Amino acid sequence: MLLGNKNGRKLSPELFKSLRDLIYDKSGIFFPENKLYLLEGRLGSRLNELGLESFQEYYNHLRRLSVQTEELKKIYSLITINETYFFRYPKQLDVFNKTLFPEMIKERTQAANKRVNIWSAASSSGEELFTLAMMIKETLGIGVSRWNISLKGTDISRRILDAASKAEYGRNSFRGTVSTYYKSKYFTAQGDRFTVNDDIRKMVKFDYLNLNDINTIRQNRGLDFIFCRNVLIYFDKEMKKKVIKAFYDVLNHGGYLLLGEAESLHGVSSAFKVEHFPGAFVYKKE
């Protein structure tokens, strides 16, 4: 039952801070005071589904340790914006595809090391990771089978990970610059839906990860590329510092961190070297 505008359905400033602080403590996702109504609107559906009449009841429910873990995962799916599409930020992808990845392949070939590890740290519905897989397939051609290329995507939203595993997309996922060549070669069209072909799907894997879980991040050592685009916007400065340090620790020397176009490490970390390219920049661990 929807309860309209009853007072219990309004999130008071005091309760907002309590909810906000709990979410921040568990995930690192921070809501400033001007986001009260956003949190109220996003979490209203949980009150409906649980049959609760007020946010106070919901907060009390959330505090119960027996339900907290699973309920928080539902919250993460509601409060994060999964805005992505194929070949997003093409200039940065060109740098990866035409410079960074080929140079690494050359270095690894000379060192008789056929492994490259790539992590999409907030993979959302999968478009970013599948984009990388397609570009890598084009670069290595039939020789891709002679390489051990690890393409791993993680996200805090179980709902969006389920969508990524299905690898089925609508036209909105192609609103970027996706050539007819890629679309016809790596997708199967079914009406207005497009499914990623099996040869690309087999190259990637998806898993759940909360970026506030630094210990789990540190289990993923030996990475060559970390894509973490449009994620830092959810974090305050202290959380940014914590996550970026963890990224630095798990990257190989010579590895790269790629952020969103409007994101930077200014005031967050000076450990990386900034490398500039036409229309894009990346961070290198030297």
Cβ-contact 228, 257 below 8 angstroms: yes
Per DSSP, the three-state class of 116 is strand
pLDDT at 8 exceeding the cut of 60: no
Tens digit of pLDDT for each residue in 195-244? Answer: 999 999 999 999 999 999 999 999 999 999 999 999 998 899 999 999 99
What's the average model confidence in pLDDT over 142-156?
96
> How far is the C-alpha of 28 from the C-alpha of 210, rounded, in Å?
9
Percent of the chain surpassing pLDDT 90:
87
User: What is the 3-state secondary structure of 58-77?
Assistant: HHHHHCCHHHHHHHHHHHHH
* Residue 257, pLDDT score: 98
Tens digit of pLDDT for each residue in 82-129? Answer: 789 999 999 999 999 999 999 999 999 999 999 999 999 999 999 999
Confidence of residue 179 (pLDDT cuts 50, 70, 90): confident
* Residue 2, pLDDT score: 30
Percent of the chain surpassing pLDDT 70:
97
Q: Residue 154, class by beta-carbon neighbours within 10 Å (0-12 exposed, 13-18 middle, 19+ buried)?
A: buried
Tens digit of pLDDT for each residue in 28-69? Answer: 999 999 999 999 999 999 999 999 999 999 999 999 989 999
What's the average model confidence in pLDDT over 139-159?
95
What's the average model confidence in pLDDT over 67-81?
91
Per DSSP, the three-state class of 213 is coil
Mean pLDDT across the chain: 93
Q: Which amino acid is at 59?
A: Y
Per DSSP, the three-state class of 219 is coil
* Residue 9, pLDDT score: 80
* Residue 1, pLDDT score: 27
Taking the CA atoms of residue 84, residue 89, residue 90 and residue 92 in that order, the dihedral angle to the nearest 10 degrees is -130
pLDDT at 256 exceeding the cut of 90: yes
What's the average model confidence in pLDDT over 172-182?
85
Cβ-contact 59, 14 below 8 angstroms: no
Predicted structure pTM score:
0.90
Confidence of residue 178 (pLDDT cuts 50, 70, 90): confident
Q: What domains can you pick out in the chain, each with its CATH number? A: 7-79 (1.10.155), 90-284 (3.40.50.150)
* Residue 19, pLDDT score: 95
